[in-house]
Amino acid sequence: MTKKILLMLILSIGILTKLSAQNLNIEQLAYINIDQISDEQIQAFWDKAQAQGYSLTDLETAAQVKGIPSSQISKLRQRIMTLSTSRVNKNNNSQTNKTSSNTQEVFGRTPINRAKDSLTLTEKNRLFGYDFFQNPKISFAPTINVPTPESYIINTDDELLIEVWGATENSTTQKVDNQGNIILPLAGKVHVGGLNFTEAKARINTALRRIYAGIAAPEGSYSKIYTGVSIANIRTVKVNIIGEVQAPGTYSISALSNVINALYASGGPTKNGSFRNIQVVRSGKTIATLDIYDFLLKGSQQGNINLIDQDVIIVPPYKNQVEVIGFVKREGLYEVKEGEKLSNLIDFFGGFSANAYKDNLVIERISGAKREVKEVALSEAEKFAIYGGDKLIVHKLSDIYHNKISITGAVYQPGNYAYKDGMTVLDLINKAAGIRDEAYLNRAILFRTLNRVDKQSVNFSLKDILEQKQTIPLQANDSLHIYGRDSLSLKYFVRIEGAVRKPQQVPFAKGMTPEDLIIIAGGFIEGADHSQVQVARQTNDTNFKIISNIQNVPLSENLEGKQSIELQPYDIVTVRFQKGYTPQQIVKIEGEIAFPGSYAILSKEERISSLIERAGGFAPYAYIEGATLLRKKGQEKEDNTQENQLRKLKKVDKELSIIETEENTEDKKQKEKNEYRVGINLKRIMNNKNSYEDLILKEDDVLIIPSEKQTIEIKGLVLAPSLVRYEKGKSTKSYINSAGGFSDNAQKRSVYVMYSNGDVKGTKKFLFFKSYPKVAPGSIVIVPEKPERKGMTATETISITTAITTLAILIYNTFK
């Protein structure tokens, strides 16, 4: 009963938490810090307000009526605008993935999830400066954690902190009222509205001198009094942003904000808005014009003035827009003013790429009802006027060289060189520092291009050229290749195999003997039979029967040849092992055994039972049923039972990813990859020695005799995977129930049990009955997951339905 009540309480808390996150209302904002609300809550709140017909301005008005502080309202607007911008960016990115890869890169923020080589940007994002206002990762909100500018104008709702210290101490925070006054204790009203910060400090100090005479005292006097004035809280101002912006309306922003801050809060200009003619209207007059291009390219703050209450920012539509494509640093759309030249446009897109063809820039222009093409040299860029609708195309430089010649092959300095009139093949060879010793002198080839299309090869004797018996003039773009003798001759080699330290293939050299080859291979290894070294020699039999001839060369241990021979190309020297030689082999026995450790294998027929007897038999706490044999992979390729076991383990591991040991280290994993775990029945082995179950030992085998285990591990798709105590006679189903029973997605008919000795047994099925494998101490019960089932496609459904219908008609007609 207690558990049920606790569960209901947890569910209730979760539901209430979810409701509080989704049903945030405007009254709650009066006592909740906006900074502590998650983006999901803000988004849910804003979606609900929009569904009820509220605009952002309406929401601000309602918040003021509810008594929410102006600072909180400003933060709420900023959070909502950030979320709206993020949503726009997400939509743009989703559309971006569907556009053609021919759209170009833009200047500004690059989408975070864009592929490295992708150029799939929407037409909207190609507008220069547009992405500057769409980056949710940055904020242009003015900081208040810096000293207040001396030019800051004090006005209603600013809060001033006045401090007095020295001979006396006092401080007070005063808010500027609607008449621009603050009230100082004992000094009365002081008018500071409309004054800049410097003037306001001077007026406050004047008022304080009437109360504190010590202010005028000299420095170091015991009666000296110091004063300080700072702004404790900056007021908010309301500005109207209208025209071609993402979210026009009335914004409450900090009084330290400038035009850029306000534009960023509104989402910036739209694709139809002007970036170069943004006007600030105050009291019916245009007092500033902001050109965002100047800000982005030069950092100019001209026109980016601080805003005051009731200022109006107007973003008109753009007048002229041009497109730039080709080999420039920033392709895209650019806004131009009347009278601007091509040189101004070049500054906007940052100049040309290194491989741009700048001598002839192409302008596609609309002329009346037609289009025309103009060609402009870069030297005329300062005079050539740009008009709306122009399209600048910058082509790539040609890859064709007009004065290149090249030389490759057996020369000291191959590569490209400059062609000059009258150059010959010998001149080019001399430029490449001459030919190398291995150069093939009988022939060289000169490759030549005719009419930029046809190819021609000119072959000649390199020896005649070097001896100046022949002169061949060169042409531009000729390519000369000098061949090496090695590249034209066969590569001869000999090979050594068998009982040497480093069997290998080596280049053939005249006069080489088997002794030389053995020394190159590091000499004999233990067990080598040096008395009979075989040399296999390739032969050409016209009867197509004999492939190789064998010669035996007797050698002494110190490689003194008695009847040594000279090797020929492609000979294979083989050093055999001595008859009957077998290197010693070691096996290990670990765990509950009288004398654990390493043992040398006595014979090729030594078995597990013999090793246990040599190790002194079992210790008192040995768990014989859990004994297992570890064998390196490759030792028993003929043992299909191990292969079957490995496939079972891999299947379980793939389904559940749980076949791991508790020691999950890299060394352990590597060791498991290189060995098999062979399941053995040690009790039957000891009762039936030399039987088929009593396996013959192999090198590096490890026999493990564990101690008695008292637990069972339940893994996989159960409610609470755990380790439970072993109870004799308890069924597998009972152990699963001890772990909370099957989970919803468990495949009950495929339960596995992996035993301590490595054996794996699965559930047996007969009709509708399941027989789970029995559990032994130290076993692991594994409950796999149901495989994902795919539903039939419409085509498969129609095919089956048609077949059934046809069969029914046939049966009906048969028995009618």
Residues 6+ apart with CB under 8 A from 798: none
What's the token pair of residue 12?
Answer: 């209730």
In this prediction, residue 24 has a pLDDT band, given cuts at 50, 70 and 90, of: low
pLDDT at 66 (0 to 100) = 62
pLDDT tens for each residue of 627-640: 888 888 765 544 44
Backbone angles phi, psi at 321, to 5 degrees: -140, 135
Same domain, 224 and 241: no
Query: Phi/psi at 399 (nearest 5 deg)?
Result: -85, 0
Q: Is the pLDDT of residue 689 over 50?
A: yes
Rounded Cα distance between 140 and 254, Å, is 11
What is the Cα–Cα distance from 777 to 713, expressed in whole angstroms? Answer: 10
Of 60-64, 260-264, 513-517, 642-646, minimum mean pLDDT range: 642-646
Q: SS3 breakdown of the chain: % helix, strand, coil, rounded to 5?
A: 25, 30, 45
722, β-bridge pairs:
714
- Of 285, 315, 345, the domain-final residue: 315
Boundaries of domain holding 356: 321-394
Q: How many domains does the chain have?
A: 6
Tell me the pLDDT band of 561, cut-offs 50, 70 and 90.
Answer: low
- Lowest-pLDDT range of 29-38, 99-108, 254-263: 99-108
Amino acid at 400: I
Q: Residue 666 — very low, low, confident or very high, per pLDDT cuts 50/70/90?
A: low
Q: Residue 699 CA to chain centroid, in angstroms?
A: 45
Q: Quick one: 337 and 311 in the same domain?
A: no
- Which among 474, 521, 473, 476 is positioned nearest to 501, based on CA atoms? 521
Please give the backbone phi and psi of residue 467, each rounded to the nearest 5 degrees, phi first. -90, 5
**DSSP letter for each residue of 582-602:** ----EEEEEESBSS-EEEE--
Q: Are residues 83 and 44 in the same domain?
A: yes
Q: Are residues 311 and 346 in the same domain?
A: no
pLDDT number for residue 4 = 45
Nearest-CA neighbor of 76 among 55, 59, 88, 89? Answer: 59
Asked if the structure places residue 415 within a domain, the reply is yes
Q: What is the pLDDT of residue 670?
A: 55
CB 427 within 8 A of CB 418: no
Q: Give yes or no: residues 418 and 477 share one domain.
A: yes
What is the identity of the amino acid at 24? L
Query: Mean pLDDT, to the nearest integer, of 395-421?
Result: 89
Residue 483 reports pLDDT greater than 70: yes
Residue 541 DSSP class? -
Residue-wise pLDDT tens digits, 77-126: 777 776 654 554 444 444 444 443 333 333 333 333 333 333 333 444 68
- The residue out of 488, 516, 532 marking a domain boundary is 488
Q: Give the pLDDT confidence score for residue 241 in this predicted structure.
A: 93
| Domain shared by 511 and 541, yes or no | yes
Note whether 27 and 106 are same-domain residues.
Answer: yes
CA–CA–CA angle 698, 699, 704 (5° rounding): 75
Residue 563 and residue 508 share a domain: yes
pLDDT, mean of residues 216-235: 85
Using DSSP, state whether 461 is helix, strand or coil. Answer: coil
Measure the CA–CA gap between 594 and 610, rounded to whole angstroms. 14
405 with 432: CB under 8 angstroms? no
What pLDDT is attached to residue 426?
93
Mean pLDDT of 677-699: 86
| pLDDT confidence band for 642 (50 / 70 / 90) | very low
* Same-domain status, 266 and 342: no
Of 300, 315, 330, which residue sits at a domain end? 315
Question: Mean pLDDT of all residues in the chain?
Answer: 79
**DSSP secondary structure string, 59-92?**
HHHHHHHTT--HHHHHHHHHHHHHHHHHHHHHHH
Q: What whole-number distance in Å separates Cα of residue 591 and Cα of residue 757? A: 13
Q: How confident is the model at residue 39 (pLDDT cuts 50, 70, 90)?
A: confident
| Alpha carbon distance 497, 504 (integer Å) | 7
Q: What is the mean pLDDT of residues 670-689?
A: 78
Specify the pLDDT at position 70: 67
The verdict on residue 367 lying in a domain is yes
